[in-house]
Amino acid sequence: MTLKALICGCAGPTLSEEERAFFAEERPFGLILFARNVESPAQVRALTADFRALAGREEAPVFIDQEGGRVQRLRPPHWRDYPPAATFGALWKQDPLAALNAARAVTWLLGRELAEIGVNADCLPVLDVPVAGSHDIIGDRAYAEEPVAAALLARAAVAGLRAAGVAPVIKHIPGHGRARVDSHEKLPVVDAPLEALRGHDFLPFAALADAPMAMTAHVVYAAVDGRNPATTSRVVIHDVIRGEIGFSGLLMSDDLNMRALEGPLAARAEAALEAGCDVVLHCSGRLDEMRAVAAVCPVLSGEALRRAEGAMAATRPEGLAPEKRVAEGWLERLSGLS
C-alpha cells in the first residue's frame, strides 16, 4: 500500500466529503487531532475509525498532543486533567523512585484514554531541557532542568504509553530548551557551543534514541548550521540527529505552519524532506494548504518506509500495565504538586 510522507489535520469533528476524498486519494501516513476535532469520546472514536477506513490500515497512526498541563487537547468533563511534566520533576527531587513509578503509571492512564478513542500516537514526551533565560514555551512542559532526570522520567513515560498501546513521539529533537523565542512566532537561534549542546541538550534524546518517532525543532543551532533550523538542515539531521544522537526511528517535522519557517508551505515541506525528515506535519486542517503540501510529498519508500512500519508496529501494547487504581492514586497525589 502506498503511503505519502505526510501527517495532516482536519477542520472539524467529522470529515467533510472533500476531506474524505482527499484522504482516500492522497493516503497520508497519519492524522493529527486538535481541540477543534474533539467533542465526545463517541465522536472521536467515529472520526478515527472513519480516517482508518479511508486509509485502509487498522494501525494507521492518529496523533495528538496530549502532554498534560497547558498542552492537552482532551479535557474534562470527558477526560481527566493531567499535570504538566514538571510535576514529575518536582516529585523526583523528593523521591526519584516514586517519580519514575508515577510517570509510568499516570502516563499509562493517559495513554489508555487515548487508545479507547482510537488515538494511537502521542506527541510525548518532551525531552527539551530549559536553561536560564529561555522562553517559557517549553517551561513546565519539560520534566526537569537536569538532563539525566529528564531522560529517566521520559523513559518511564514512554513505558507507560507503550503499555497502553500508544506510540510515543519524542520532541523537539535535538533540543528546544535553550530557545529564547517561541518558534510558533519567530525563528529561535541558539548560539551555545557544540560541547555545551552535547553535554546538556542532546543527552535526553540520545538516551531515548530507540524511540519509534521523533519531532524536529524549528531551531537554528549556530554551532552546527548557522543558516537553517534543524527541520530543514541536512547537517543537523544527518550529523547530529542520526549521527551523534543515534536516533533511528521515523523523523517527522514540527508543524510546517509555524512562523519559524519561511516561504510557501510546499517549499517548506520540500526543504524538510530534502534535509532528511521522513514525513512532514501540517496541522491547520485547511484543505487548500493540505493539497499544496501533499502535491510535493513523495510516497514513502526505502528506509523511510521501514521506519514508518516500525512506528506503526509501536502502536501495539508492549509491557505490563499498572493497576488502574494505582495509577489513579498517583494522579491524585500529583494534583497536590501541580
Instruction: Pick the catalytic residue from 184, 191, 210, 238.
Output: 184
Q: Contact at 8 Å (CB) between 31 and 3?
A: no
Residue 263 φ/ψ region, left for φ over 0, alpha for ψ in the -120 to 50 degree band, beta for the rest: left
Cell of 211: 524511540
Note if 218 is an active site residue: no
Q: Contact at 8 Å (CB) between 152 and 198?
A: no
Q: CA–CA separation, 109 vs 65, rounded Å?
A: 15
Q: CA–CA separation, 338 vs 246, rounded Å?
A: 34
Using alpha carbons, select from 251, 177, 174, 239 the residue that is nearest to residue 211.
251
Instruction: Pick the catalytic residue from 50, 140, 254, 255.
Output: 254
Q: Contact at 8 Å (CB) between 259 and 185?
A: yes
The answer for residues whose C-beta is within 8 angstroms of residue 86's C-beta and 6 or more apart is: 69, 139, 140, 141, 142, 143, 144
Note if 254 is an active site residue: yes
Return the active site residues. 184, 254
